[in-house]
Amino acid sequence: MFHPKSITAFLATAAVCNHASAFAPAAKSMRLTTKVNAATAPPAGNPLADFFSNFGGSPTPESQPEPPQQPEEPKERLPGAMIDLDGIAFSGLKGKALSLTKEDFPDSGTVRKIIPADCFNPDTATSLGYLSVSLVGTALCTAFGVSALEYLNPANILTLPFWTAYSAVTGTVAMGLWVLAHECGHGAFSKDKKLQDTVGYLLHSLFLVPYYSWQRSHAVHHRYTNHMGLGETHVPEDENMPKEEKLYDALEVRKGLMDKYGEEDGLKAWASIQSVLHLIIGWPAYLLIGATGGPDRGMTNHYYPNPLTEPKLPKKELFPGNWKEKVYQSDIGVAAVATAAITWAICHGPAEMMALYGGPLIVVNAWLVLYTWLQHTDVDVPHFEDADHNFVRGAFHTIDRPYNKLDPWGAIDFLHHQIGTTHVAHHFDSTIPHYKAQAATDAIIENFPEIYLYDPTPIPEALWRVCKGCAAVEKRGDYYIWDNKDVREELLTVDKTV
């Protein structure tokens, strides 16, 4: 059944997506503290999500209080992990992730015990209800676009602003379908495996993503979160790796831009380039050549199961054994949708196909990269090599963020099924459906506040900080940490929090 709040969500999305300049706020300085606030928790939940949850039979979680204000203190060595902080900028986490040692993290069984048992049980009817919201919302957007063709020919360059806005809104709404497709791959949509795989296969194919390939690679991403060698997405460049292994030297390029255009303008140029490389080019590059994947598996391709280059660890190849056949099975659905899109372009012109399908797809891909990038990356969030990594430590280096504050109504967070506001719980156990993830998050905050990461920095400012400050890492103690010795700290910090 179509949810009435989706109309509000559609209008709110249009307003948010028309303010692209918000992703390049002016740099402001602030003094950052290093004391860990163990009570830090996200503010109250999304009212739209709470409203809809009541119809699905799942309890509405109690609102979390605003974190108490901490007095400002001079920057000093962090408690716990005593590492050199030279060249390390701080995010809204205030260095919390750097204060944690391997011994601070409990074992998986201990964490699982504190999460309500019901959280691990998906309800098919509720999942289908959320699927209907995303389907109907996307269908309404598409119907509006089709009706506009009569008056606004996409082949006319003067209509580009309209079709750009249409793509932004429709792609934002359709991102909800991607989130639910992703839940199918995790087994969080339904206990009916045939139904779950059918929904997941169809939705993934619609987005030109091979279902089983992504199911496998994303499970690997969860197993090796923030692992320097085996991590599957957004693995940073090690500044000390041999030059022949680098596509380009990130720190060198950033410094070159700063030298040429001035420190502040050069840094903005670098950040702008990074935003385009990640949000626009990043997703297809990942599917085709494994861009930002860990080096130990060699170059990978989601449409072809064998490594494209010789992996350092052959036994850790991305698609072993029976997964190779599943990759080819996934290709059938992708090929069918790609053929339909090409036929559409031949019969009605590439402009119409791009306006109604290609443009929104680019926006969906940008949202996907935004979420995965910011969930695991910030200037003071480390990565680890194998000896210092384990599943729980990786999972708890996921960052929850205030996506429910992207618009005044929390509409985008609702449309995206709270994928970014409850992602720590999701990374610990990906079989938890999104409509029960808040209850799991509340349990984690209550029982493990000292290791739970929540950054209150508004999303546009957090993205801009990551674009500027996450170029390459260096090894310090047990950590690989982002090196910003060549950047003044005030150029990487913001003083806006929610």
Series of mean pLDDT values for 10-residue runs along the chain (498 residues): 40 42 38 39 57 45 41 50 82 94 95 98 98 98 98 98 98 98 98 98 98 97 97 94 85 97 97 97 97 93 96 94 97 98 98 98 98 97 96 98 96 97 97 98 98 97 97 92 94 65
pLDDT for 45 equals 56
Confirm whether 67 is domain-assigned.
no
pLDDT for 137 equals 98
- How far is 79 from 81, CA to CA, in rounded Å? 6
Confirm whether 235 is domain-assigned.
yes
pLDDT for 79 equals 52
pLDDT for 81 equals 59
Confirm whether 157 is domain-assigned.
yes
pLDDT for 11 equals 41
Confirm whether 63 is domain-assigned.
no
Confirm whether 64 is domain-assigned.
no
pLDDT for 478 equals 84
- How far is 41 from 29, CA to CA, in rounded Å? 24
- Single-letter amino acid, residue 121: N
Confirm whether 181 is domain-assigned.
yes
CB 105 within 8 A of CB 476: no
Q: How many domains is the chain partitioned into structurally?
A: 1
| Domain of 353, in residue numbers | 5-18+40-53+77-491
Confirm whether 234 is domain-assigned.
yes
Confirm whether 162 is domain-assigned.
yes
